[in-house]
Amino acid sequence: MMAKNDLEKQGLELPFWQMLLSTMLSFLGVSSESRRRRDFERGNPKVFILSAVILLVLFMLLLLSAVKWVLAA
Is pLDDT larger for residue 6 or for residue 47? 47
Q: In one letter, which amino acid is 34?
A: S
Give the number of other CB atoms < 10 A from CB of residue 39: 20
> What span, in angstroms and rounded, lies between the C-alpha atoms of 17 and 23?
10
| 15-38 per-position pLDDT tens digit | 999 999 999 999 898 989 999 999
> What span, in angstroms and rounded, lies between the C-alpha atoms of 18 and 43?
9
Residues contacting 57, CB < 8 A, separation 6+: none
Task: Check: pTM over 0.85? Answer yes or no.
Answer: no
- Main-chain phi, psi angles of 12, to 5 degrees: -95, -5
Question: Mean pLDDT, to the nearest integer, of 47-70?
Answer: 96
How does residue 66 score in pLDDT terms, banded at 50, 70 and 90? very high
